[in-house]
Chain A
Amino acid sequence: MRQQIFKSLYRIRRVEEEIARIYPSDKIKSPVHLSIGQESVAVGVCEALRPDDVVFGSYRSHAYYLAKGGDLKKMLAELYGKSTGCAKGKGGSMHLIDVEHGVMGASAVVGTTIAHAVGYAYAMKLQHRSSLVVSFFGDGATEEGVFFESLNFAALKELPIIFVCENNSYAINTHIRFRQKSPNLCEKASAQGLHAERVADTDTLAILDRVNTVAQAMRNGGSGPYFFEFLTYRWKEHVGPNEDYQLGYRSIDEARPWIEQDSVRRAGSELDPVLYEQIKQEVEKEIQAAIAFAEASPFPEPRELFTDVTGD
């Protein structure tokens, strides 16, 4: 398990570092919201899921897309705007999807997909299917009306859904203390009738353990839904490949403790050095192959402009 977790964490980190490296070349013409620093939440949660479980998320989508098993080649091709992309170049970084692997899409409008996840969970319950649904969103989403409306309905109908709030304290460049009088997110979820839990430990195994326990209980007929708040930190700017500590809305001093307890490095240090090197090489090889695939793929034909509007 440790090996699998490190591989998933490292793969996400390196994919995003490569995206940041390529970005100035303008080959990726898609706004990228990098998850660097936040990988342990996506990996810890998704490692507790089955292939037939389903996730919905936000525009900061790369980490959970990859952690859930989303196709890397199709993801990079999508960022390049190529016809081999996961949405044929019609979605971009903010709308990654891989239906086969249970990644059901993302919205550029904060909080929007929380309700989709709830509707999907309703269908699972109605159809007596055993799949669980996970809704990923950030702390900013907990200020949207749709958050409260969705949690209320999910609790009312006791739906098999786990809400995962990745609390990185910032909505774009504004700290939560400037946005919420009472920033206790678990209280907000509890008030809607959910079981709610804050996890401050950024260790991936700790996250996996908590989600696993909750998921198992839900699969064994325990009533959902459940709300997790995971504390985490975004190392890069809100959108784009760079750091932004020079802007002044936050300081490198604030970031330093988070960077020092980097979950990717921590997971790697716990592995046998030979195995560690072997995994790194496998991942690098896969990423370079995916980049080559994206670069070599064709752009969509002009006729694609008018396809997929309706089913007619």
Chain B
Amino acid sequence: MQSYVEAIREGTDLEMQRDESVIVFGLDVDDPKAIQGTTHGLAARYGSERVFGTPLSEDAMTGVAIGMALAGLRPIHVHIRMDFLLLAMNQLVNVAAKSRYMYGGQVHVPMVVRSMIGKSWGQGAQHSQGLYAYFMHVPGLKVVAPTTPYDAKGCLIHAIRDDDPVLYIEHRILHFQKGQVPEAPYEVAPGKARIVIEGGDVTLVGISHMQLECLRAQRYLQSVGVKAEVIDPIWLSPLDIDTIVDSVRKTGKLCVVDNGWTTCGAGAEIASLVVERLQGSREVRIRRLGFAPVTCPPTPPLEDLFYPNGRTIASAAYDLVHGTAGDWLPEERSELQEVEFKGPF
């Protein structure tokens, strides 16, 4: 069993060992805390030219990564919070995404941008945002949000080897997940979503940390005889919509749970694609869940209401199956609470 953190560290280490063009930088990647341990030991092993902390210059350092990539390096730029990517939008959207196209295919920009979504212990307005939909919107960018240690390693290795810019989205709470991770390098490439649990009554699609909450919801639903199929899209762009469509063709009901706001979100995109594909051939009922349409509050009682959780997801899925409206909300079951993030940060 290996943690998500160790899976990232090991994936990075293996690729740096295999390919000397791979380099890692970002605020604090070489400090003693080593980005929750995900970059631990890399500076000592590969030296300060290939692993280095940067000035607080997200805009320029993203541009620096692009320039490095144009010169043949494979940079990994690390951000300890996804919110900070807003300082790098010009470089990511106007240049990284577009260079291959606007230069007629003469150049490509192989770079990985790692960033973490925060949650709980007062992360609040600017440490909690899941902004991956911004990047899904833009042709030329790839987006991945692995939820298991196995995928964390395999997706990272693929992202590093990919010749296009990849936004690699982590979630602070998922860092604590443990799972089986093969020692040898392997790739989890785009093109295949994973059916995590099979079921015939309702399809649950959970993105990033909401995948965990969907797994909890599946257990709650099981207790009232509803069989949920739980799907992890893994790669958001390009997105394997076929697996989701096939599932909804079977169940006729889709509850997509976003780790962000629902308006123009990843869940909205998935729901639209499913409707476009199934309309006229299969009647479907759809529900989107996500962050409450407000700024994330730090105080725990309000923060609890801000996020979907296993119980509220189960309740929404129950409504889809039975055509009810909030008739059932399961009692909390403590055995379903796995390790939670404990502060202080």
A118 vs chain B, min Cβ distance (A): 5
A79 vs chain B, min Cβ distance (A): 14
CB-CB under 8 A for A95 and B103, given A114-B63, A116-B63: yes
For window 76-102 of A, CB contacts with B under 8 Å fall at 85-91, 95, 97, 99
Q: Which of B73, B142, B162 contacts A126 (CB 8 A)?
A: B73
CB-CB under 8 A for A308 and B67, given A112-B94, A153-B61: no
A150–B99 CA distance with the chains assembled, in angstroms: 20
B201 vs chain A, min Cβ distance (A): 35
Q: Are A115 and B62 in contact (CB under 8 A)?
A: yes
Q: Are B91 and A122 in contact (CB under 8 A)?
A: no
Q: Are A311 and B99 in contact (CB under 8 A)?
A: no
CB-CB under 8 A for A116 and B70, given A87-B104, A107-B94: yes
For window 47-94 of A, CB contacts with B under 8 Å fall at 56, 85-91
A150–B71 CA distance with the chains assembled, in angstroms: 17
CB-CB under 8 A for A118 and B102, given A99-B107, A109-B94: no
Q: Which residues of B contact A91 (CB under 8 A)?
A: 102-104
Q: Are B55 and A156 in contact (CB under 8 A)?
A: yes
Q: Which residues of B contact A88 (CB under 8 A)?
A: 104-105
A153–B73 CA distance with the chains assembled, in angstroms: 18
CB-CB under 8 A for A118 and B106, given A152-B55, A310-B164: no
Q: Which of B59, B65, B94, B163 contacts A119 (CB 8 A)?
A: B65
CB-CB under 8 A for A149 and B101, given A107-B94, A112-B95, A120-B68: no
Q: Which residues of A contact B163 (CB under 8 A)?
A: 311
Interface hub of B75, B106, B142 (most chain A Cβ within 10 A): B106
Q: Are A153 and B64 in contact (CB under 8 A)?
A: yes
Closest to B99 in A: A105
Q: Are A153 and B57 in contact (CB under 8 A)?
A: yes
A309 interfacial by beta-carbon distance below 8 Å: yes
A226 vs chain B, min Cβ distance (A): 18
A91–B238 CA distance with the chains assembled, in angstroms: 24
A159 vs chain B, min Cβ distance (A): 10
Q: Which residues of B contact A90 (CB under 8 A)?
A: 101-104
B171 interfacial by beta-carbon distance below 8 Å: no
A158 vs chain B, min Cβ distance (A): 12
Give the contact-size bracket for chain B. 35 or more
A145 interfacial by beta-carbon distance below 8 Å: yes
For window 55-103 of B, CB contacts with A under 8 Å fall at 55, 57, 59-73, 75, 90-91, 94-95, 99-103
Q: Are A152 and B57 in contact (CB under 8 A)?
A: yes
A127–B95 CA distance with the chains assembled, in angstroms: 24
A145–B238 CA distance with the chains assembled, in angstroms: 33
Q: Which residues of A contact B140 (CB under 8 A)?
A: 309-310
Interface hub of B70, B103, B139, B238 (most chain A Cβ within 10 A): B103
A122–B241 CA distance with the chains assembled, in angstroms: 40
Closest to B87 in A: A145
A43 interfacial by beta-carbon distance below 8 Å: no
A214 interfacial by beta-carbon distance below 8 Å: no
Q: Which residues of B contact A145 (CB under 8 A)?
A: 59-60
A107–B99 CA distance with the chains assembled, in angstroms: 10
CB-CB under 8 A for A122 and B64, given A149-B57, A310-B164: yes
A246 interfacial by beta-carbon distance below 8 Å: no
Q: Are B90 and A86 in contact (CB under 8 A)?
A: no
A126–B108 CA distance with the chains assembled, in angstroms: 20
Interface hub of A116, A122, A308 (most chain B Cβ within 10 A): A116
B49 interfacial by beta-carbon distance below 8 Å: yes
CB-CB under 8 A for A311 and B90, given A112-B63, A116-B95: no
Q: Which of A108, A119, A308 contacts B66 (CB 8 A)?
A: A119
B225 vs chain A, min Cβ distance (A): 43
A124 vs chain B, min Cβ distance (A): 7
B174 vs chain A, min Cβ distance (A): 26
A275 interfacial by beta-carbon distance below 8 Å: no
Closest to B65 in A: A119
Q: Are A307 and B105 in contact (CB under 8 A)?
A: yes
Closest to B62 in A: A115
Q: Which residues of B contact A146 (CB under 8 A)?
A: 59-60, 63, 90
A309–B95 CA distance with the chains assembled, in angstroms: 12
Closest to A92 in B: B102
B17 interfacial by beta-carbon distance below 8 Å: no
17 contacts between A and B (CB under 8 A): A104-B70, A112-B91, A113-B63, A115-B64, A116-B70, A119-B67, A119-B68, A120-B68, A120-B70, A127-B71, A146-B60, A149-B59, A149-B61, A153-B57, A309-B101, A311-B100, A311-B108
Top-10 shortest CB links A-B: A115-B63, A119-B67, A149-B60, A123-B71, A88-B104, A149-B57, A119-B64, A87-B104, A116-B67, A308-B105
Q: A115-B62, A116-B95 are in contact. List 10 more A-B contacts (CB 8 A).
A: A56-B67, A115-B67, A119-B64, A119-B69, A119-B75, A123-B67, A123-B71, A153-B60, A308-B104, A311-B108
